[in-house]
């Protein structure tokens, strides 16, 4: 295959990986701080994609869907945390699995009632519906560049927030010793709600960004959820840096694999996961011991 | 009890871990500016009493009053905000955070808005922490971690500080440093409830001692009375 073709696949891999990071970072953050594995996180991604679809149908462009997914996602995440998840942190893992599995069914049912069960394509926002010439024989989708840019900007903002702000330090403290956060007088419930709101906002935003690339369809969150779990496990449970590098790795391996060795591509990321776990059982950035 | 202003008052506290009944009706008080030593052998309920006072272990029966507020049903963070700082056994510092972050997230004005303890002031009290500001908590020595835990507690500008085994596992020189810090802090008028293995140090520093045996208070009074009573010391403290 040509160099231009390889470049295009490389960019596709980076774009896919960064999208996975938006999903996986919320998943790993929520697990790291609250100890809950949110199986419905993929459904939140789906909600974001359908928001983009509905916004496009209503106003003709998916552009407005982005701020709506981000802000609406934060509000929706706060509500979910307040109304449901908060009551499950101290419960058994089985109860948590049942809750989040039930949410998948509820979200799918709601989607079916509100929008139906058909596949829908979502148009790329008109202003980005063109190709950027890179070399003489190769140009690349402007919208995919936008997706890469938005994901990178959100990743930088997330890193800054977690690593450089007081709230970020409190979140890291809560992930390490939740009890001591309360002991120094910080209301852990507010920390939990904030983390859940941010995780949900990122998942919805990922969905809204993905809709023009992958269309919207029933159960579309499931595949992304499973791959995001692979990302989280490879990166190390609870690690944002791990989620970032894990997502890029999976995005590239999956995309390049499908392009060059399609016969085994479906297996490649799971083999990679097994190999990483054999080498480092707690993942690339996981805390050991 | 005229003239006393009670900061901490636990009345008839009962608490259990699983099926074992650890506290059996403990009543204990700490007044403003007072230093109380909580003594007893291992497993007699000292840490459980403190954790119940902080709301980390639910009270099965009884009442906890902090700074005049009924705190029996309050969550832990609200008890802290009433001016009760707690340095747990094992120190409880955040190992993945830098020293500066450990201090920063705890710093706040006290319940009456007082701001006597600032980050600069605790760093003056513990110059070694100033040198290690950018280090992660888990890179500190045991003594430095203990200093960090005490510094962090002071930064909440509390009315009462509870120290559980603050000198445990430390070298004698570091121990002495921690004790002199505690004396210094005590002189600022901060009330303290202290658990420690060293009976002699506790007796020297405290206004009153309370001895716990199997979840009940068996002796209470000035340290001199306890020290004079060899039989009591031997029976309840093993010294």
Q: Is residue A283 part of a domain?
A: no
Residue B94 is nearest to which of A166, A177, A185, comparing CB atoms? A177
A94: how many CB neighbours lie within 10 A of its CB? 8
Average pLDDT over residues B187-204: 92
Q: Is residue A36 part of a domain?
A: yes
CB pairs under 8 A between A and B: 65
Distances, alpha carbon A259 to alpha carbons A13, A84, A96, A255, A262, in Å: 10, 42, 38, 6, 6
Residue B80 is nearest to which of A175, A176, A183, comparing CB atoms? A183
Q: Is residue A102 part of a domain?
A: yes
Q: Is residue A232 part of a domain?
A: no
Nearest residue of A to residue B83, measured between CA atoms: A185
- Helix A3-34, helix A188-214: angle, nearest 10: 160
Residue B104 is nearest to which of A169, A177, A181, comparing CB atoms? A169
Q: Does A182 touch chain B (CB under 8 A)?
A: yes
B3: how many CB neighbours lie within 10 A of its CB? 5
Average pLDDT over residues B22-33: 94
pLDDT band at residue B4 using 50, 70 and 90 as cut-offs: low
Token pair for B168:
């445990």
Residue B86 is nearest to which of A172, A183, A188, comparing CB atoms? A183
Enclosing H/E stretch for A25 = helix A3-34
Q: Tell me, what's the pLDDT at B1?
A: 42
Token pair for A114:
């509100």
Q: Under CATH, to which class is B6-237 assigned?
A: alpha beta
Contact A183 B96 (CB under 8 A): no
Give residue limits of the domains in chain B: 6-237
Q: Which residues of B touch A (CB under 8 A)?
A: 54, 56, 75-78, 80-81, 85-86, 88, 92-97, 101-102, 104-106, 108, 152-153, 156
The β-bridge partners of B26 are B13
**What is the rounded CA–CA span in Å between residue A136 and residue A141?**
15
Interface test with A, best of B53, B58, B66, B77 (most A CBs within 10 A): B77
Nearest residue of B to residue A179, measured between CA atoms: B56
pLDDT (tens digit, 0 to 9) for every residue of chain A, 289 residues total? 688 889 999 999 999 999 999 999 999 999 999 999 999 999 999 999 999 999 999 988 878 899 999 999 999 999 999 999 999 998 999 999 999 999 999 999 999 999 999 999 999 988 888 999 887 778 899 999 999 999 999 999 999 999 999 999 999 999 999 999 999 999 999 999 999 999 999 999 999 999 999 999 999 999 999 999 999 999 998 899 999 999 999 999 999 999 999 888 888 999 999 999 999 988 988 875 4
Contact A182 B75 (CB under 8 A): yes
List chain B residues with CB under 8 Å of A188: 77
Only one residue has tokens 């010439």, namely A133
Q: Is residue A275 part of a domain?
A: no
Contact B94 A176 (CB under 8 A): yes
Q: Is residue A144 part of a domain?
A: yes
Q: Which of B56, B57, B74 is nearest to B65 (CA)?
A: B74
**What is the rounded CA–CA span in Å between residue A128 and residue A117?**
28
Q: Is residue A245 part of a domain?
A: no
Enclosing H/E stretch for A279 = helix A262-279
Sorted by sequence, the CB contacts under 8 Å of residue B159 that are 6+ apart come out as B7, B32, B67, B82, B83, B84, B110, B111, B190, B191
Which range marks the domain in which residue A200 is found?
A: 21-221
- Helix A41-59, helix A65-83: angle, nearest 10: 140
Sorted by sequence, the CB contacts under 8 Å of residue B60 that are 6+ apart come out as B14, B15, B16
DSSP B10: E
Q: Which of A3, A4, A5, A88 is nearest to A258 (CA)?
A: A5
Token pair for A75:
């509000």
Q: Is residue A51 part of a domain?
A: yes
Q: Tell me, what's the pLDDT at A207?
A: 97
Instruction: Using only the alpha carbons of chain B, give its radius of gyration.
Output: 17
Q: Tell me, what's the pLDDT at A288?
A: 54
Quote the minimal CA–CA distance from B202 to chain A in Å. Answer: 24
Q: How many domains is chain A partitioned into structurally?
A: 1
């Amino acid at each position: 295959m040509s160099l231009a073709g390889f470049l295009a696949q490389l960019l596709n891999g980076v774009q896919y990986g960064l999208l996975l990071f938006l999903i996986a970072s919320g998943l790993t953050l929520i697990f790291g701080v609250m100890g809950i594995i949110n199986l419905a996180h993929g459904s939140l991604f789906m909600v974001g994609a359908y928001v983009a679809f509905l916004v496009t149908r209503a106003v003709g462009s998916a552009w407005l869907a982005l701020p709506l997914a981000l802000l609406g996602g934060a509000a929706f995440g706060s509500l979910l945390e307040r109304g449901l998840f908060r009551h499950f942190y101290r419960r058994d893992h089985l109860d948590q699995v049942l809750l989040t599995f039930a949410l998948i069914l509820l979200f799918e049912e709601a989607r079916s009632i509100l929008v139906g069960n058909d596949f829908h394509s979502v148009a790329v926002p008109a202003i980005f519906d063109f190709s950027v010439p890179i070399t003489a024989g190769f140009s690349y989708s402007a919208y995919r560049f936008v997706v890469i840019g938005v994901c990178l900007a959100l990743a930088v903002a997330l890193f800054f927030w977690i690593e450089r702000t007081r709230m970020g330090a409190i979140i890291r403290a809560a992930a390490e010793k939740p009890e001591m956060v309360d002991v120094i007088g910080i209301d852990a419930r507010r920390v939990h709600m904030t983390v859940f709101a941010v995780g949900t906002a990122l998942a919805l935003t990922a969905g809204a960004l993905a809709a023009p690339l992958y269309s919207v369809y029933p159960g579309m969150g499931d595949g992304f959820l499973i791959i995001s779990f692979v990302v989280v496990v490879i990166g190390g449970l609870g690690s944002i840096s791990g989620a970032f590098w894990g997502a890029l790795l999976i995005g590239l391996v999956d995309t390049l694999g499908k392009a060059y060795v399609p016969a085994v591509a479906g297996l490649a990321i799971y083999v990679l996961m097994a190999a990483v776990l054999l080498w480092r059982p707690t993942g690339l950035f996981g805390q050991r011991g | 009890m005229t003239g006393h202003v009670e900061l901490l008052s636990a009345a008839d506290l009962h608490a259990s871990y699983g099926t074992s009944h650890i506290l059996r009706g403990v009543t204990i008080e700490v007044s403003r500016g007072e230093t109380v030593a909580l003594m007893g052998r291992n497993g007699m309920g000292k840490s459980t009493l403190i954790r119940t006072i902080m709301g980390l272990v639910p009270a099965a029966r009884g009442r906890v009053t902090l700074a005049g507020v009924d705190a029996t049903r309050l969550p832990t963070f609200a008890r802290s905000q009433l001016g009760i700082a707690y340095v747990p056994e094992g120190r409880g510092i955040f190992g993945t955070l830098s020293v500066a972050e450990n201090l920063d997230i705890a710093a706040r004005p006290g319940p009456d808005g007082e701001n006597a303890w600032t980050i600069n002031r605790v760093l003056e009290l513990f110059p070694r922490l100033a040198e290690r500001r950018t280090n992660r908590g888990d890179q500190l020595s045991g003594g430095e971690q203990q200093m960090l835990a005490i510094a962090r507690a002071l930064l909440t500008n509390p009315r009462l500080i509870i120290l559980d085994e603050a000198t445990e596992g430390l070298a004698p020189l570091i121990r002495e440093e921690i004790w002199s810090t505690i004396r210094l802090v005590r002189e600022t008028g901060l009330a303290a409830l202290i658990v420690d293995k060293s009976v002699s140090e506790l007796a020297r520093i405290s206004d009153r001692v309370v001895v716990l045996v199997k979840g009940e208070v068996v002796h209470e009074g000035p340290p001199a009375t306890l020290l004079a009573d060899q039989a009591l010391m031997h029976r309840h403290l093993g010294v």
